[in-house]
Amino acid sequence: MYVKICGLSEPGHVAAAVEAGADAIGFVMTRSPRQVTPERAAELAAAVPGHVLTVGVFRGETPEAVRAAALVSGVRAVQLHGRHPHADFTALKDLGLTLVRAVAADADLRCGAYDEDLLIVDAPRPGSGEPWQWAAVRGRPTGRWMLAGGLDPANVAEAVAAARPWGVDVSSGVETAPGVKDPDLIRAFLTAARRAA
């Protein structure tokens, strides 16, 4: 089970996620309680070992703005939320970064349909912590796809059993308040997600 911990903004929380075995960590560089500047993301990403994928998270920005933030921050992946046209992914292809498309369940759920490398199937309001009908997508997404939206240490096993994803992605469920991560919850989520696999 591939596990991404999203919305990190403190070095101690990045270290906790890495030490607990996260496969990917996300830095939100768009409007959010978790927003970090590209410069701050660069500081945080500098301490991340190469086997952990660093992901810049965006929503509503132009490909040019995403490109600029990705280059400053040095992330190895960019995650575009919402109904971006295929051309936005094509415009970023030459960066050589992992491209992640994050959409709600009513979108095209074929990973690769937009030339992306990874797909995230998320709640309608990303980063809201709101659970949704995970079972409704079972069997629909294809390729390498992560389930997101309202996951936490207590429900991730149920969610995985319901939807059968390749990976999982969490933000609110490892926080004590919006934007405030908790190392104990990060560790508990990793443990529960691994057991759910």
Q: Least Å distance between CB 73 and ligand LARABZUK?
A: 15
Cα–Cα nearest to 153, from 136, 172, 177, 135 = 172
Give yes or no for residue 88 binding ligand LARABZUK (CB under 6 A): no
If you search the block for the tokens 């294809």, which residue do you land on? 142
Q: How many CB atoms lie within 10 A of CB 140?
A: 12
Q: Least Å distance between CB 156 and ligand LARABZUK?
A: 10
Q: Least Å distance between CB 100 and ligand LARABZUK?
A: 9
Q: Least Å distance between CB 122 and ligand LARABZUK?
A: 5
Give yes or no for residue 98 binding ligand LARABZUK (CB under 6 A): no
Per CB under 6 A, which region of 68-76, 111-119, 136-144, 163-171 contacts ligand LARABZUK?
A: 163-171
Buried/exposed 31-60: b ≥16 CB within 10 Å, e otherwise = ebebbbebeebbebbeebeeebbbbbbbbe
Q: In the window 7-36, what residues touch ligand LARABZUK (CB under 6 A)?
A: 7, 26, 28, 30, 32, 34
Interior angle at CA 145, CA 143 and CA 149, nearest 5: 160
Q: Judged by CB under 6 A, which of 56, 63, 149, 167 binds ligand LARABZUK?
A: 149
How far is residue 70's CA from residue 57's CA, in Å, rounded to a whole number? 10
Q: In sequence order, what DSSP letters do the residues of 62-123 get, joined into one string?
A: -HHHHHHHHHHHT-SEEEEES---HHHHHHHGGG-PEEEEEEETTS--BTTTTS-SEEEEE-
Q: Judged by CB under 6 A, which of 77, 168, 170, 188 binds ligand LARABZUK?
A: 170
- In the complex with ligand LARABZUK, which residue's Cβ is closer, 88 or 122? 122
How far is residue 176's CA from residue 185's CA, in Å, rounded to a whole number? 9
Residues that bind ligand LARABZUK (CB under 6 A): 6-7, 26, 28, 30, 32, 34, 57, 59, 81, 122-123, 126-129, 148-151, 169-173
